[in-house]
Each structure stands twice: as C-alpha cells, then as structure tokens.
Structure 1
Amino acid sequence: MTCKEKILSEDYIDLINYFILPQGRVEGNDDVFCYIPVNERFLSIYYSRAVLPPLEVSSYYYRYIPRLYGLMQPFAPEALDRNFDIQPLVKSGITLIQREPLSLTGRDVVLGFVDTGIDYRNPVFRRADGSTRILAIWDQSVQTGTPPDGYFYGSEYTREQINEALQAEDPLELVPSVDEIGHGTAMASAAAGSALNGGLDFLGAAPDADIVVVKLKQAKQFLRDYYMTPDDVPAYETNDIMLGIKYISSYRIPFEKPSVICLGVGSSFGEHSGSSSLSQYISSVGSEINQAVIVAAGNEGNSAHHFSGHIDAGQSIRVEMMVSENTRGFLLELWGRIPDFYSVTVRSPGGEIVPPVSGRLGQSVQYTFVYEKTKVLLDYQTIESESGNEVAVMRFEAPSTGLWTVIITREGGDGPGNVDMWLPLRQFVDGRVEFLQPTPETTITAPGFAQPPITVSAYNSRNNSFYINSGQGFSSEGGIKPDIAAPGVDISIVSGTVQGKAVVGTSTGTSLSAALAAGAAAQFMQWAVVEHNSPYVGGVAVRNYFLRGAARDSSYSYPNRQWGYGRLDMEGVFNWIAGLPAQ
C-alpha cells in the first residue's frame, strides 16, 4: 500500500509519535507503517492495526492516542438574510484602526483557518476585480487532486487554480472543495471578509488579508468507535489538525508576510494544562517570529461536564452523574496530581458496584454488570508522560439510565489531593450526561491552555455580559487562561451564496470571538511587520500588546477566569503604543 492508502485506510491506526526514526528509513514507505514529520519532535504515523493491540491507554502511552476535536459550536446560523451589524467590530476598536491614518486591514498578512473549509466562490473572499483573496486550500477530504508536497493525501488548490475556477461556468468542476457545514466559512468571513458595498453590506476585521484554508477530513471510524462519538457529528483528529497548522505555517515569510493561524475546534479531554501534543505543537508555532496562533476557548462552560474536588489523605469522595435514556456510551477522564495516587469504584443506578481499582497498578480492568447491559472499562496510566500526573480513562458502554456514582479514594501521597474529571464535548454524547455538582471553571477546551497562543473567550458586546456557554479558566495548574475576551454573540457572518451574492446571517460562540481576535492580530501584524514598525514580533509580543491595550472594568479584578486580562480593544492597543491615556 502507498502512504496515501495507509493514511486513509481503516486498517491503519493513526498515532502521534515522539521517537526519532531509525536511520535509513524512507519517509512514508514501510510494510507496516508510514509517517509524515510534523516538526523536529512529532510524527504523524499510520500503523497497521494487524500488529497492534486494542486501543487502550494501558496498551499505549496516553499521548500517542489522537484526540477527537469538535467544532466550537454545533454550527447553524441563528438567522439568515440579516443586515450586516458592524457593532462588534466597532466595540473592539477594529474599525477605528481600519481607517486612516493607520489604515490597518491585514494587507500582506496570511490569515489561516484549520476547520471545515471555505466557500471560495462567495464574493466576501474576492477582490473588487472578482479575483480570489485565497492563496491556497488544502482539502484533506478530496482525494482526486494533487496533495501538497510531502503530505501524501488530500488535494491542494492554488490561487491560480481558484481564479481559473471562478471564471468557469461550474467552478466546482475545477476546484471541487466545498464547506458543507459552513463553520469555516463563517469564521473566515468574520475575520477576513471583504468590504462589500464599502463595508455597508459586509466587513471583516482584516478585509485585505491573504487567506489560507485547510479543510479537515473527518476522523477515522476506529477513533469514533473508541470515543463512542455519534456518526452524524463532525469530528476531527489530532494528526490532521497538526499537519494543517504546519501547512499554513509554511506560508509565513519572515519580515515580509507574517501569519496568523486561527483554531475553532477543541476537545474537552486532557489535563487542561497545555501539555497535550497539539498544545505543545501550537506553543512552538506560536513562539516563532512573525507568527501568532489564536484559539477559541470553547463553549463548555455551562455544559456540566467538569467536576473538581479535593480529597484528604485516606478519604473518599462520591461524584454523581445523571445519564439520560438512549445514551450509547461515553468516556470519562479522571486526573490526579502527583505524588498522590487513587483508586476508583463505580456504582451503577441499579446498585451494582465495580470493585475498587487502584491506579498504582497501571492496568485495564473491564467489568460487565449482571443485571444491566453496561460494560465499564477502567483504563489507568499511573504516570502520564506529558504531564507526569495520574490519569484514569473510564469507558461506559451502553450505560443504564439514571444516577451513576464514581467513588474516588486517595490511597496515599502527600500532594494537594485535588482531582478533576471531564466528560466529552456535549455534542460528542448522543444522549445527555452531566455531573450533578459540576464545576464551570477550567472548562476551556484543548488546546486553549497552550502558551503563548492567545485564547479567546466570548462576551456580548451590546451589553458587556459574559457569554454563559464560553469556556472559563484557569488551567488545572493555575495558568492564566483565557488571555482576553472578544465579541462572540450575534456576530455577522456569511452563511451562504444566492445568485452570486453573499447571504449574511448571525452566529454565536467562541469560534467567532477567536475569528475577530485573529483578524485583529492580522491588523497588528501589518503594522508591526509589513510596515516595519516592530519587525521581530511573534505570538508572545502580539499577546502582550493585546493584554496591555485590553479594556477593563473597575468592577472586576484581572486576570480572571472569564475575561482573562479584559476585552479586546485595538484602539486601546495603539493608544498604549502612542503613550496616550486609556479611554
């Protein structure tokens, strides 16, 4: 089989590997595996399932198993054919710096999106002469074209090909890349939509930025089965996201064409400290000169999918979950801090109990109930290699309806005694599973705890209220996230095309707040790099300028778990640079 066939085949498992390949290996060519380097540390590797054990944490390192990432809202425009509302851009100070004397519109900055694709035919992504503003699309889901060099799968479409397609009677015959979901198109329009009718009909934050798009392919079925994710819910895997970021990053030209990469996908699993593979990778990318990464904080703040508790030495706590009817199954992760170690007992709604399983054994234990059809797999890794902490992955298959109880006992250790538990993204459960006593804090989705990428929560810019579903900080180890809040409620987006005209709708969620912040970052990169005012800036500098200029209310203390260091305010950023007093 070719490497492309291995990447696409369900007979091959996708893993994230850290090891250095033996000398003499030919890239992408082996009987049982092939790989694509991500950077000097990570490999996206595709290995024959025939020679590997079942997918369990105890059989693999936790870090090797790709996570599933979902969209930061189950996307559907909340209103179609609406008038464009510029208020969120005005509130963020974005329109002020678009105008003279600064005239910052993202010119010569690459704005990249790793998401559901883009409707390249829409006029909001075209120049006044009708040509495209898109430099390239890598559509991982289309296998009929030529992949980017070194990536083996998907189809790459260049600006020249897109322009040729736009002149054709049926553009999709030449460039068959579409955004069936609309999430990526919405984000790109909010961040980088062209000024239609002088900005009266539509305007993005960075209307002159160059655009690069990666359309993620759907995750393989073996991963969906492992996470028990509903088949009709969009789900994307770590490998494809990391490679998409690498692809966009390749368009950065230091001191000439900086780049801003925007992520509107997330996962609720992991330790929530920035230690995951994807978090580490975007930390590296976001630290490079002339490059910044913007991440949505996620919409899990009100989902009741996080529990945090403290256990005294030798004591136990009971954590209760309500499971609705017709729930096919779900994963639950438990994280404990070193040097403490724990045991876990599970009690079903009918009163049957899984005997205590100790984390010190680092093993997998499966239990089938006698009077219920449920199977529970407790899968331990005593020392998770990325964070060093203890993790237990509990897999509930065909769970009975009712109240489930997880009893956690602190067996030993003189650490803090703090434990955290996370359920999947809300849309990744085909029923309803909730903690009865949830903790809304530390609900920012991965990779939102990475440093120095800028993590953005959402608020309603019309009344300055925090968006109730937005993910909240801080990290599980006290790291300051989110960095900043941006408008994310009823944001004008492009929701489609009718007879060649853009249809404007509205949508809500942190992917939109991240998109506005990404457009603002493109404006700043134009001023700093393209116009040579501060040519050495990278993600750290962009973040710190944003924090210094953020709008803050006297009624809050900063940083805080919802607002970070305050509200996005580009006027405030440039007032700070100019030495003017805060407004």
Structure 2
Amino acid sequence: MFIGKLLQQAVKINKILFIAGLILINSLSGFAQTDNFRFRKLLAEQPGIPAAFAVANSGNLDALLADKQISVKQVTREWIYIQAKPSWIKEAMDSKRIKSFYLEFSMPKALNDSTLVKHFVKPVHQGLGGLQTPFKGKDVIVAFVDQGLDYNHPDFKDANGNTRVLYYWDHTLPVAANTPQPYGYGQLWTAADIQGGTCGSMEESSAHGTSVAGAGVSNGLANGQETGMAPEAKIIIIETNFNLPNWTMTVADACDFVFKKADELGLPAVVNLSVGTYLGSHDATDPAAVLMDNLLDEKNGRIIVCAAGNSGSWGKYHVHGEVNADTSFVWVQPNPGSQLGPNTVYLDLWTDLSDAGWSYSWAANLSSGSFEERAELIYRAANTGVGSTIKDTLWNGSNRIATLEIYPEIVGPNLHLEFYFTNVDSTAYLYAFKTKGLGNYDAWSGSAAIALNDMLSTGLPSAGVYPNIQYYNMPDTLQTIVSSWNCSPKVVTVGNIRNRWSHIDNNGNTYLPNPPNYTAVGQLTPASSKGPTRTGHIKPDVVACGDISLSAGPFWLLNDPGFNSAISNDGLHVRNGGTSMASPVVAGIAALYLEKCSEGNYQSFLDAVHSTAFTDMFTGTVPNNAYGYGKIHALNLMLQSNFTNTLTADSPFCPGDSAISTASIPGYSIQWMNGDTTWNSALTASGDVYFAAYDQNGCVSYSDTLTVVAYSAPPAPVIYVSGTLLSTDPYPNLQWYENGVAIPGATGTSYTITLPSSSFFTVSRTSTDGCEVFSQPYNPSLGIDELTNQIHVYPNPTRDKLTIDASVPLTDIQVVDVQGRMVKSVADSKHEISISELENGTYYLIIHTDVQYFQVKIVKN
C-alpha cells in the first residue's frame, strides 16, 4: 500500500512537471528535456542502449511506426510507448519529430516486492481482491533440489528464531549413520540438528540454492523486504551432487523423499527444481521423468515445478530432421575448446522407434570455399549395432580426418544414438550428419556455450557453390528446454522474464548488466529456453520474474566485500537471475494454491495456471513456446477455485434444530466449528455457528458466522402402552398425533386408540419458549423391540444411501419422520435404501422381519 501511494504521488508530481515542461518546450524547443541532468547522464553513459520511453502523442504515430530505429509497443490518447536509444531521443527532439518524452526520476530500492506486485501475489498474502482470507503457504512443504542453503539467514527462521527447515539431505556427503534409506547415499539432517548446531551441511561455495529458496519461501524477517511467494511454508532442502552417476535419478529420489516426508506429516508438498540437463530425449520418457510422473499420479497434494533452462541464447544447437528419399544433412562444427577434448564433435540424437526407418552416414566437408565433400562413411540403418559400440574412421585418401564412436541404444520407446568424434586431425572440416529413408529425428549438439558443439546456421554456401545445400536441415533455437522432467506434461515448466531494470549494490552503485541487457522489464530474456518438447507439447507452461532478482544470500558471500557488486545495498541479499529464479516464484504460488486446495494436484494447478495466466504486448498470442500460456497471475489463479456457500440457522432455536449448509458446487464436504462433518449440524447451545466447505480438490470456502440463541425445552415425552390406552407423564401443553396429524382435542395425558390399527402415534409437549418435542412413534400392529446385534445400519448420518446388515431375513423397511408420518417404504427384502430425496433432519427406520421389527433413529444430512 505504501508503495502504491508513493507511485500515485510520483504520477501527480510528474504531471505537474510535465505541464511545466510543456511551457518550456513550446518556447525553447526540446532543449529543456534533453539538457536535463538525468537525461544528460543517460545519454553520456548509455547512448546506444535501447530503453523504454513514452513520447507525446501529437499525431506523429505513422511517422514513428515507419522509423526502423525504434519499436512502437503501445499507444494511448496521450502517449506513444516506444523502445529507443537515448541518442535517438536526442536527435528526434532536436529535429522536432517528437515534442516531448517521459523520463522518470526514481531512486530504486532492492525489493522482491517487484515480483510480488508483477505477479499479483500481494493481495493473496493480504486476503484481498475477492479472497476470504490471507494465504501465505501455511502448512505446505516447499522443497528445493539445489546447491544447498544457508539456513542461518533470518529469512529462513520464524519469529522466535527457530529454523523453518524440516530436513536437509546432502547428496555430496559420504555414507554415514544418518544416510537416509532406501536411497543409500548422502546424509540427512533434521530440524533438531539445525537448531542444535550439529548439522554438517551448508551452502558454502555457491549462492544459487539460498537465493532460489529465498525467491520461493523467504519470510522477509531479515529486514522486512525480499519476501518470497510462500513466506509461511515449511522447507525441505536437498543439496544435489552433479557428479553422481545417473544424476537425474538422484533428483527423482529427492522428489520421492520429499513426498514421503510430506505423507508422514499429512501435508501437501511442492518440489522446485532449478537444476537440469540440456541433453536427453526431451520427451519425459527417461527413468527420472517416469518416476516423477508416477509420484505425481500416486497422490493428490503434490506438485513439481522446474526451470525451463537458460540456453535460449546459446545459438542453434538443435535440429529436427524429416527424412525422406532425398539425402538431407546438417553440419556440426568441431570445437577446439570442447569439454570432451580439443576439436572433438558430439551429437545426441533421439527418435521414436516407429520413426527410425532411415539410414545415416557421416561426411567431412571443407569448412569454406567450395565446401567440397572430402570423405564419407557407409550408410547404416538407424538401429544397427544397438547395444554395442561402433567405431569408424573418415579418410581423405590415405589421410585420416577423424575417428568416430557411435553408441546406439533403445531407451523406452526411443532409439538413442550418440556420436562422438574422438580424434579430429584437422579443423578445416565441417562434419555432415546425413540421412535418407523414411522417418524423423531430433538431435542436439550441446552448443559451444557449454564447451560442446555448434551446428552451422550462418555462412552457409549458396546453391551455386554447393548444390546439395537445398537438402540442408536448418538448426533452430527450439527444444532448448532442459530435458527429462522438464518435458513432462505433468510438471510445471517456467520461463524467465526480466524482473527489474537495475538495483543499488552494496557499494552504493547502480547495477546495470554490462554489456547491458536490452531486455525490457517484463520481457522474456533471450537466455530463457524455448519449447516444445520432442513430442510437441507446449513448454514452458508459464513465465515469471527471474532476471535481476534480489534474494537471500549465504553469509560467506554477504560477508566478503569482494562480492559487494552482486549484493543488495541492504547487505543481506544477493542478485541472481535466469529461469532458476523464475521457477521458485511459481513453486511458491503453487504452495499458496495447496494451502487453499490441499487436495489439488498437478493437473488442477496446471489448469489454473494455464487459464489465468495473463498476456501483454510482449507475450503475443498464447500459448507459444517462449511464454507458454503467459505470465502467472497469482490472484486470479487463487480466485478460480472460489465457490459460494450459504448458512441458514434459526435463532432462537429449539433443541433438535439444525444449522443447514449449502454450496455452489456439487460433492462438497463440510467442517463445522464443532468438528461435525455432516451437511447439517445440530444446534445445541447459544453461540457462533459457521463452517468451512471443501470442493473435490480440497479448496476451502468459508461461510458467514451467525450468532444463535438457544430456547430451553423439556425432555421428549415417552409413550406407555396398556392395551388400547396410550399415556404419558402429566406434562402441560400436550398434543397427540396419528400419522403426523394432530388429533383434535387429544391434549391430555392419555389417548385411547381403536384396534386393530396400523397407524403411527406420537405425543408432543411444548415448552414455555414454544419448542415442541416429540416422542418416538408407536405402531400398535408392531411390537417394540430394542435394536440388537442382529441389525446394523450404516452410514448414519448419511446424505444418500443406508445399508442394512441383518443376520435375519427382512420383509419390509419403512421411514417415518419425528411426527410419525411414513415418508418412504420399501416392500421387499433389499438391504439398501436411498433417502437422498428427503429433507435433512431426524427420521426413524422401521425394519420388519417375519416375527418382529426394529426401530432405528437415523439422520439425513
């Protein structure tokens, strides 16, 4: 609220300054604005860096739209919003192409509130905007599989100084007595270990894990700022070990561990994965992804959120090949600095077994000039040598160009081929992966950005120089998302938009990316990885603020002045970015969702994410493989699960009366203030009456609170039978009934019936408060037998059906109300009866056998 007031004041001040500025502009051209000290500083330091400007809408829109040096982003009656270099603004003002422009005077502060505002999380924390109560992640576990945590940071402690971390499983430590089973690696620390100072793990060489956790669950207690999305969530930390074999499966183990601990505690859980691998099948059929999918399907209250990856600006290192009778190819470039060895070449290829009806070869082409092919291997069927290693050599005459190892294998429904050129004797060649036949494939070369290989996408020869170039499979920047779980339709994948333009660092300087990041605030960063999955599934699912975010940092870094340029000016938080920081934003919002909807699952959350994400001038038409379904909107996501309910209750009330609940959705469940879970709750005493209703996903909706007053009432009368004489104790205000109809004049202590009769008789007494209470019904054609262990009726109370377990044959079942009126009869031996059509209230079930009957009090709710 304070920030909003400041913004309103700033707008008012700027309007005043703008009006004053117009006077100067009209008389002094553009000198006043362009000579402003803020603009002079901007022009001197960043003349060629595009920035967001708004210029006065003075009928010059067409001219601006035609100017290729700028981009027009939005138009209002007053303003035209553009992305332009400060130097362009200066020239346009000097030439009078624009009359004025808007430039803020601001003193930014390092606040995660920017993320809270941009994704509409603040009203969720405050219980505003249509929500009935605040949601902050209370009683929800958020787990982070990352590089550890500095749990000593105040943002991860409660107000009493107690740790919020329930467990810390460190995969980097050797086997010991506290190694968790059945996993058999790492060491596990508990909250007691952390609180007692005996925990042997801590994030000590990175700030990644601490800052990622802060974005998701920081409570802001360090300084009242940098609050995460779920500040009251409970925390589990898994410190991953990137050097472990089959690393992705250790991540799946971590998810399994988290969900098991959550089950033990009876809590829902979210797992955030700001880690991943860029190579793989990209279809979620690998073992780790399959396990995670199974965990999600196993039980409600489980969500996994992951970072899409940061390889969007690595270049075109993916290729999709549609194979036909013509020989198509793609060139892979050797890398002198490859992590696999100097000048080596690597290609990771995946295809469905059903699409592997093609053959392949490798060739070496000159890397410039004529691009002449100098060597080629034989063509092999795609599935040749599955399960073995194939070795071959490219020769140019007697000169060896390179040696090649091929690793074919079947992984689930896929054929996987790895190609590794172990010895490359010359860098003068491009290496062509060539195919012919029928089918398709996807292949990744890893990119030189991670010291692997690039595919050639620029500098290609013309058809006149190299005619076969017409069959070239052009690489692209799609399918650059992290593989494995990231590609599962059941996992929430998150892309990265820029959070803020700059911030003040711990040296008092303004941080701006150098070289400056031209991405506008709210725009997808170039590094954010793109989808789709190899099976064509839209990824990412949604985008959130990541780049230039400030979050909790480990104290080893915060206390080192050498890192001041990466530390916020509060000295307690660090700068981080990428999809790693965007993912915990969504994970934290998932915790808010599970606090409201404890039985929700990945699908209900994904549906809510997809349907409520918002779009703007950056996102374009959604869904797409850059922004997914748009930018996550926490408030609308939470509101989507709202439903209405009503509470009715008489006041004053008589004993036996009930409060009635209804809701706007079918199949809801109830929790009354007294713990009752029936649709109607018996009123027993004066006081407040209210309930919480839950839909099929456990989403909660709270009723209003009614204050009721209880009338007093005497105990129910009892009928005594002596032949044809029915009597009761000498109470005042008596009334006898036959089949629920008051008998005229029958207001005494006794009433004589005429036999034979099959009617139901009751007697009532009315208190001075006006409360009428009834006896149990009496039918003279039946005996009165107590319920024995021969008959069992359940469930009772019930909303619909009653089941009758009987060890003797049944002949008839009747339902009568408290006044003795028969409301339903089943004249057969069925042991099940539906009372769904009856009004809520108390009834008597009359169960007949050949020789006797049983009377059971039942409640319909």
TM-score normalised by L of structure 2: 0.51
CA distance in 2, matches of 1:146, 1:567: 42
Query: How far apart are residue 541 of structure 1 and its match?
Result: 1.0
Given candidates 304, 320, 328, the residue that maps to 2:315 is 304
1:376 aligned onto 2:396: no
SS in 1 for 2:391: strand
Aligned equivalent of 1:572, options 601, 625, 636 = 636
Counterpart residue type for residue 552 of structure 1: T
The correspondence for 1:90, drawn from 117, 132, 154, is: 117
User: Kindly tell me: are residues 408 and 185 of structure 1, through their superposed partners in 2, closer, same or farther at Cα, counting changes over 3 Å?
Assistant: same
1:440 aligned partner: 477
Report the CA distance shift for 1:158/1:255 in structure 2 as closer, same or farther (over 3 A).
closer
Distance change (3 Å), C-alpha of 1:128 and 1:330: farther
Q: CA deviation at 1:357?
A: 2.7
Q: Note closer, same or farther for the CA distance 1:564–1:160 as it changes in structure 2 (3 Å cut).
A: same
Distance in structure 2 (CA, Å) of the matches to 1:402 and 1:494: 49
Quote the residue 1:511 is aligned against. Answer: 580
1:318 equivalent to 2:329? Answer yes
Assess if the C-alpha contact under 8 Å between 1:496 and 1:502 holds in 2: no
Contact 2:312 2:529 in 1 (8 A): yes
From the superposition, tell whether residues 258 and 562 of structure 1 become closer, same or farther in structure 2 (CA, over 3 Å).
Answer: same
CA 1:312–1:204: 2 relative to 1, 3 Å: closer
Distance in 1 of aligned mates of 2:643 and 2:448: 45
Q: 8 Å contact 2:317–2:447 — kept in the other structure?
A: no
2: CA distance between counterparts of 1:425 and 1:373?
Answer: 22
When residues 122 and 303 of structure 1 are mapped into structure 2, their CA distance, relative to the original with a 3 A threshold, is: same
User: What is the CA deviation profile of residues 535-578 of structure 1, one whole-angstrom value per residue up to 9, with x for unaligned ones?
Assistant: x2111111111222211247732211111111101122134344
Distance change (3 Å), C-alpha of 1:192 and 1:330 = farther
Native 8 Å contact 1:551 1:572 kept in 2? no
Q: 363, 374, 384: which one pairs with 1:361?
A: 384
Q: In the alignment, which residue of structure 2 is the partner of 1:138?
A: 169
Paired position in structure 2 for 1:262: 272
Q: Write the mapping of 1:75-224 to structure 2, written as runs, cut at 5 A.
A: 83-101=110-128, 102-143=133-174, 144=176, 146-165=178-197, 174-196=199-221, 199-200=224-225, 202-220=226-244
CA distance in 2, matches of 1:434, 1:407: 10
Deviation at 1:432, TM superposition (A): 5.2
C-alpha separation in 1, matches of 2:252 and 2:190: 21
> In 1, Cα distance between the equivalents of 2:116 and 2:429?
46
Pairs aligned (count): 464
CA distance in structure 1 between the aligned counterparts of 2:390 and 2:587, rounded to whole angstroms: 45
After superposition, residues 435-514 of structure 1 pair within 5 angstroms as: 435-436=456-457, 437-446=474-483, 447-461=485-499, 463-497=521-555, 498=558, 503-514=572-583
Aligned equivalents of 1:154, 1:249: Cα separation in 2: 18
Aligned partners of 2:203 and 2:209 also within 8 Å: no
Superposition pairs of residues 369-448 of structure 1, within 5 angstroms: 369=394, 371=399, 374-381=402-409, 384-388=410-414, 390-399=415-424, 400-401=426-427, 403-411=429-437, 413=438, 417-424=439-446, 428-429=450-451, 433-436=454-457, 437-446=474-483, 447-448=485-486
Matches within 5 A, 1:52-71: none
Secondary structure at 1:519 match in 2: helix
Select the structure with the greater relative contact order (CA < 8 A; seq sep ≥ 6): 1
Whether the 8 Å contact between 1:290 and 1:525 is mirrored in structure 2 is yes
Distance 1:426 1:493 in 2: 30
| Matched residue, 2:254 | 244
In 2, the alpha carbon distance for the partners of 1:277 and 1:259 equals 22
One-letter code aligned to 2:478? E
Secondary structure in 1 matching 2:487: coil
Deviation digits for residues 430-485 of structure 1 (CA, Å, limit 9, x no counterpart): x6534424311122111211121111111124533112111112222222222111
Given that 2:284 and 2:487 are in contact with CA atoms closer than 8 Å, whether structure 1 keeps it comes out as: yes
Using the TM superposition, give the Cα deviation of residue 330 of structure 1 relative to its aligned residue in structure 2, in angstroms: 5.3
Which residue in the other structure is 2:622 paired with? 558
Q: What's the secondary structure of 2:378's corresponding residue?
A: strand
- Between the aligned partners of 2:237 and 2:265, the Cα distance in structure 1 is 22
Work out the CA distance in 2 between the residues paired with 1:560 and 1:515. Answer: 21
What's the offset of the Cα at 1:349?
5.7
Does the 8 Å CA contact 1:458/1:489 hold for their aligned counterparts? yes
Report the 3-state secondary structure (helix = DSSP H, G, I; strand = E; otherwise coil) of the residue aligned with 1:162. helix
Distance 1:177 1:451, change over 3 A: same
The 2-side partners of 1:368 and 1:440 are apart by 31
Q: Distance in 1 between matches of 2:277 and 2:263?
A: 31
Shift of 1:373: 7.3
CA distance in 2, matches of 1:566, 1:158: 39
SS at match of 1:480: coil
Q: Counterparts of 2:138 and 2:447 in 1: how far apart (Å)?
A: 36
Is the CA contact 1:286–1:540 (under 8 Å) kept in the aligned structure 2?
no
Which residue does 2:305 correspond to in 1? 294
Contact 2:145 2:239 in 1 (8 A): yes
CA displacement at 1:84 relative to structure 2: 3.0
Q: What letter corresponds to residue 209 of structure 1 in structure 2?
A: A
Residue aligning to 1:342: 358
Q: Matched residues in 2 for 1:316 and 1:373: separation?
A: 22
Query: What code does the residue aligned with 1:315 have?
Result: D
Question: SS state of the match for residue 304, structure 1?
Answer: coil
Provide the C-alpha distance between the structure 1 equivalents of 2:138 and 2:524, rounded to a whole number of angstroms. Answer: 32
Question: Could you tell me how far 1:253 is from its partner in structure 2?
Answer: 3.0
Q: Could you tell me which amino acid in structure 2 is paired with residue 219 of structure 1? A: N
Alpha carbons of 1:576 and 1:146: their partners in 2 closer, same or farther (altered >3 Å)? closer
Contact kept, 8 Å, 2:357 with 2:382, in 1: the verdict is: yes
Match of residue 549, structure 1, among 579, 596, 612: 612
Please, which runs of 5 or more residues in structure 2 have no aligned partner?
A: 1-108, 367-373, 458-473, 501-520, 561-569, 645-861
Q: Does structure 1 conserve the Cα–Cα contact (< 8 Å) formed by 2:142 and 2:233?
A: yes
Partner of 2:733: none
CA contact (8 A) 2:363 2:394 kept: no
- Residue 274 of structure 1 aligns with which residue? 284
Match of 1:5 in 2: none
Q: Relative to structure 1, is the Cα distance of residues 473 and 84 closer, same or farther in structure 2, using a 3 angstrom cutoff?
A: same
Distance 2:168 2:233 in 1: 15
Of 528, 539, 558, which aligns to 2:597? 528
TM-score in terms of structure 1 length? 0.73
Moved more, 262-271 or 419-428: 419-428
Opposite residue 182 of structure 1, the aligned amino acid is A
Consecutive unaligned residues in structure 1, runs of 5 or more:
1-81, 166-172, 224-235, 530-535
* CA distance in 2: counterparts of 1:506 and 1:524, whole angstroms: 27
**For residues 255 and 505 of structure 1, do their structure 2 counterparts lie closer, same or farther at Cα, with a shift above 3 Å needed?**
closer
Q: Distance in 2 between matches of 1:401 and 1:574?
A: 57
> Is it true that 1:331 corresponds to 2:395 in the alignment?
no
